[in-house]
Structure 1
Amino acid sequence: MDYSLIISRLGEQLRTRRLHRGLTQVRLAELAGITRQKVIAIEKGDPTVGMTAYARMLGALDCEFALMTAAMPTLDEIQGVFD
């Protein structure tokens, strides 16, 4: 599976968790000790963000990584492939 899809999915999951916790990007950045720009980059699936920033954000959201077999991409995730 393409790593960019995995990063994108992770960003979406972190954004959803942030919103469910009622946190703004600014407040999450403060809790995680990272910049708001870094939170934005993580949520957008920017591949240049380092693991430390992900770990800080996960910790601030009371989450951790878990390894699982990757799911097949959805039609929405591959919509641009056939254009």
Structure 2
Amino acid sequence: MDISMITQRLGNQIRAMRINRGYKQADLAALAGITRQKLIEIEKGSLSVAMNAYARVIAALGSEVKLVPVTMPTLEELEDLFDE
């Protein structure tokens, strides 16, 4: 699996959890001790953001990372790869 797809999925999950919990980007960024711009990059699945920043956001959401076996990408995810 392409590493950019992994970070994209993680970013999508972080964004969904933030919205589900009713946080604005600025709120979650403040809780995590990072800038709003950094959170935007995390939600995009940026490879240039340090793992520490991802971990801070995940902790601020009161969550943890769980590794699961790879599943086949959806058609939408494949489409996104070709759009880049």
TM-score tier, shorter chain, comes to: over 0.9
Superposition TM-score, scaled by structure 1 size = 0.93
Shift of the 81–47 alpha-carbon distance from structure 1 to 2, 3 Å rule, reads closer
Superposition TM-score, scaled by structure 2 size = 0.92
How far is the alpha carbon of 1:82 from its aligned partner?
A: 7.0
Paired with 1:20 and 1:69, the residues of 2 have a C-alpha distance of 25
User: Normalized per residue, which structure has more helix?
Assistant: 2
Paired with 1:43 and 1:69, the residues of 2 have a C-alpha distance of 22
Shift of the 48–76 alpha-carbon distance from structure 1 to 2, 3 Å rule, reads same
Shift of the 58–50 alpha-carbon distance from structure 1 to 2, 3 Å rule, reads same
Counterpart in the other structure of 2:40: 40
Give structure 2 stretches of 5+ with no counterpart: none
Counterpart in the other structure of 2:65: 65
Residue correspondences, number: 83
The runs of at least 4 consecutive aligned structure 1 residues that moved more than 6 Å come to: none
